[in-house]
Chain A
Amino acid sequence: MRLLLIEDDPEAARFVLKGLREGGYTVEHAADGRDGLFRATEGKYDAIITDRMLPHMDGLAIVQLLRQQGCETPVLVLSALGNVDDRVRGLRAGGDDYLTKPFAFVELLARVEALLRRKAGQQATTALKVGDLELDLLGRRARRAGREIELTSKEFTLLEFLVRRAGQVVTRTMLLEGVWDLQFDPQTNLIDVHISRLRQAVDRGFDRILIHTVRGAGYVVRDDGP
């Protein structure tokens, strides 16, 4: 997987590059907007990570130009400008996700992974399956080992969000954004309580648990096999 990072702050770039390479990605780096746009247009990348405030050219302008040229490569916008409307502007300009600095590195990794997976499979489905857990998306019903699981509507949405990203780390912020449509940072760990209730419903009484906690990062739904 080839990534392009456009970031002018050398220290921040070094840290992100190192982290992404340790995560198994091939990453190229552009230190200003003009170079970034040039590489993004010329090279073949699976995803682009760009800062917003760059020398010579704004990160959003790069995204807009790329989209105008018909480039569909997923773009993650990083920004030190972090009010909620900046985020909306970033997404409207054609960015696929928006992350406010400073962020924990696991957050970046999880989002990059989500972007790459999104590109991989976009087919519409009516049913999802992980291990012996089956989700009927039309009837909004879940069954595990053939037995119906009682879920509230929100719990089903939460489970669907996780199962759609099976095998992929989903952070708490991603859950807040994706399931609750919220861009804010609650003081308490609200998500953990919802997940533990979901676990009660899905994993209780089964030997193999499907909802795993990834320490310091978030959650992943995964069937580890027998």
Chain B
Amino acid sequence: MALSERPPFSNSFRTSAFRLAIAYCVLFTVSVSALLGTIYLITGSVLANEVDNVILIELDQLADEYDREGQNGIIAELTRLREAWGRAGAIYLLVDPTFAKRAGNLSSWPFSGVPKERWLEFDIEALRDGRVVNDPVRARVIEFPDGYRLLVGTEVSERRQFQERFRAATLWAIGLTALLGALMGLWLSRRLMGRVRAISTACQQIVAGDFARRLPVGGSRDEFDALAVAVNHVLTRLDQQTATVRATFDSAAHDLRGPLFRLRGRLEELQGSVGLGTEARSSIDRALKDIDSVQRTLGTLLQIAQAESGAALAESARLDLGELAQEITELYEPAARAQGLHLQCSVENAWVNGHRQLLTQLLANLIENAVNHAGARALIQVTVRASAVGACLQVADNGPGIPVADRERALRPFVRLSRASSTGSGLGLSLVAAIARLHQARLSLEDNAPGLCVVVQFQAARPENTPQDHAVPAAPAPRADAVA
């Protein structure tokens, strides 16, 4: 009835599956970052403490040496240590109060004056693989009572390298986690979307008239399969009911038309017999007219049933609503003019998918309705406009119109509004409503100020290359009429 919406997942970034995947990806990445970050910080501080402790212990030992043996003792000890290279990366320097070197493996005092910080960090130049490189050093200084200063430090380039590698590894790990999470999310959402799209496509085809189609069941027995099985069950039930209704209507039509046909035959036979009075003849004429009217009502009811069952969509094809409206208007124009009405038509090409005969009936009913009810000298305008959303058909008159309160009622079967009491079966507009519903078009009765404006908004036709299993020629003209 209302215009159906565009497929809801034209953009894969809007699916809830994708959003969920992104949320999981972010959560996972944050957790991994927190974990690796903590390990990084703890490892860093443990390594730093280890270096510091070694320096402090050695500083203590050397201070003791100084206390016991004096300057010469410590110089000897430093020389011994320098020769022995006991500890990897150890740095020593003993300077006198003028910062001149007295002992140690560092060439000169690396600071100008006495630094304020307790822990000092500076670079030294060293030869490695024939190249001069700057190595970072962490060190501590104590001052002896005689103004001499002792610096003990450790070359920490390995620690730095380790930390840098660890940081790089951590960042890589976080990045990979995010990437993997995103890929997983994309794959998961693609998969979910595929399932949902398959179901949605099947549903659209069913609505479009392919009632034998069922939702795909993957066989993995997941929640989608459970849903598909349940929906298929409902569809089968509906299908059976539709088939029953259809069979009922077919046999009802057959059982009503048979007797009507015999009745008509007898009356026509009677009409042909000689010796009938004028009165009898006009009685027969009226009876035949009544049969015509019963037949017409029956036909309309069957058409409503046909439109409501949706089966007619199997015969639908791509057609130009504008051209059809023009043709029907031209068919009615001379008769309308003979009644003193003005019937005008303004159309443009507007392609829709539709059942040609039922759309013809829709147009004819709307025009007949306007011709019968708009009153003498009325102006009736038939308009078809194409737009991006589809084709819009309007049949407007400047007659008395339908009060707002009655508009919905006017679409129900066998409802005759007061102005419509004289002619018609009361089925015309409900047939229009049923045909509009069949085509998923929106029907509305609007105020033409004055008069009635019936608006039918159709969806645009599918592209021409869409496969049409049951497409029939738009004009099923009987072969008898095709040649002389």
**How many Å lie between the Cα of A125 and that of B483 in the bound state?**
10
Q: How large is the interface on B (under 10, 10 to 19, 20 to 34, 35 or more residues)?
A: 35 or more
**Stretch from B54-62, B131-139, B153-161, B264-272 forming part of the interface with A:** B264-272
Contacts of A83 in B (CB 8 A): 253, 302-303, 306, 312
**How many Å lie between the Cα of A84 and that of B102 in the bound state?**
118
State whether A193 touches B480 (Cβ < 8 A). no
Q: Which of B312, B355, B364 contacts A186 (CB 8 A)?
A: B364
Q: Which of A85, A96, A98 contacts B315 (CB 8 A)?
A: A85
State whether A11 touches B265 (Cβ < 8 A). yes
Asked if B262 CB lies within 8 Å of chain A CBs, one says yes
Instruction: Name the distance in Å between A104's Cβ and chain B's nearest Cβ.
Output: 7
Query: What per-residue 1/0 map shows which CB atoms of A177-193 lie under 8 Å from chain B?
Result: 11011111111111001
Instruction: Name the distance in Å between B90's Cβ and chain A's nearest Cβ.
Output: 101
Query: What per-residue 1/0 map shows which CB atoms of A78-121 lie under 8 Å from chain B?
Result: 00111111011001100011101111110000010011011001
Asked if B105 CB lies within 8 Å of chain A CBs, one says no
Instruction: Name the distance in Å between A217's Cβ and chain B's nearest Cβ.
Output: 12
Asked if B147 CB lies within 8 Å of chain A CBs, one says no
Contacts of B268 in A (CB 8 A): 15, 19, 104-105
Instruction: Name the distance in Å between A212's Cβ and chain B's nearest Cβ.
Output: 19
Asked if B279 CB lies within 8 Å of chain A CBs, one says no
**How many Å lie between the Cα of A53 and that of B332 in the bound state?**
35
A97/B258 contact (C-beta < 8 A), A82-B299, A88-B315, A190-B335 known:
no
Of all chain B residues, the one with the shortest Cβ separation from A53 is: B254
Of all chain A residues, the one with the shortest Cβ separation from B260 is: A102
Asked if A154 CB lies within 8 Å of chain B CBs, one says yes
Q: Which of B342-400 contact A (CB under 8 A)?
A: 355, 357-358, 360-361, 364, 368, 371-372
State whether A193 touches B296 (Cβ < 8 A). no
State whether B476 touches A91 (Cβ < 8 A). yes
Asked if B472 CB lies within 8 Å of chain A CBs, one says yes
Q: Which of A18, A19, A118, A154 contacts B480 (CB 8 A)?
A: A118
Asked if B478 CB lies within 8 Å of chain A CBs, one says yes
Asked if A143 CB lies within 8 Å of chain B CBs, one says no
State whether B331 touches A190 (Cβ < 8 A). yes
Asked if B295 CB lies within 8 Å of chain A CBs, one says yes
State whether B327 touches A180 (Cβ < 8 A). yes
State whether A183 touches B266 (Cβ < 8 A). no
Contacts of B330 in A (CB 8 A): 154
B interface, over-half SS: helix
Q: Which of A12, A115, A194 contacts B265 (CB 8 A)?
A: A12
**How many Å lie between the Cα of A128 and that of B265 in the bound state?**
37
Asked if A40 CB lies within 8 Å of chain B CBs, one says no
Q: Which of A166-210 contact B (CB under 8 A)?
A: 174, 177-178, 180-190, 193-194, 197
Q: Which of A174, A184, A194 contacts B361 (CB 8 A)?
A: A184
Q: Which of B257, B338, B372, B483 contacts A82 (CB 8 A)?
A: B257
State whether B262 touches A96 (Cβ < 8 A). no
Asked if B127 CB lies within 8 Å of chain A CBs, one says no
**How many Å lie between the Cα of A189 and that of B332 in the bound state?**
10
Asked if B334 CB lies within 8 Å of chain A CBs, one says yes
State whether A96 touches B479 (Cβ < 8 A). yes
State whether A15 touches B262 (Cβ < 8 A). yes
Q: Which of B460-484 contact A (CB under 8 A)?
A: 472, 475-481, 483-484
Which 3 pairs from chain A and chain B are nearest by CB?
A15-B265, A178-B481, A80-B257
Instruction: List 20 additional contacts besides A15-B266, A85-B315, A193-B334; criterion CB under 8 Å.
Output: A12-B262, A15-B265, A80-B253, A82-B253, A83-B302, A91-B478, A97-B479, A101-B257, A101-B261, A102-B261, A102-B264, A103-B264, A161-B481, A177-B478, A182-B357, A184-B357, A186-B331, A186-B332, A190-B335, A197-B334
Residues on B lying within 8 angstroms of A by beta carbon are 250, 253-254, 257-258, 260-266, 268-269, 288, 291, 295-296, 299, 302-303, 306, 311-312, 314-315, 327, 330-332, 334-335, 338, 355, 357-358, 360-361, 364, 368, 371-372, 423-424, 472, 475-481, 483-484
26 contacts between A and B (CB under 8 A): A12-B261, A12-B262, A15-B262, A74-B480, A80-B261, A81-B250, A82-B257, A82-B299, A84-B312, A84-B357, A84-B358, A88-B315, A96-B478, A96-B479, A97-B480, A100-B257, A101-B257, A102-B263, A102-B295, A103-B261, A103-B264, A118-B480, A118-B484, A122-B483, A128-B484, A184-B361
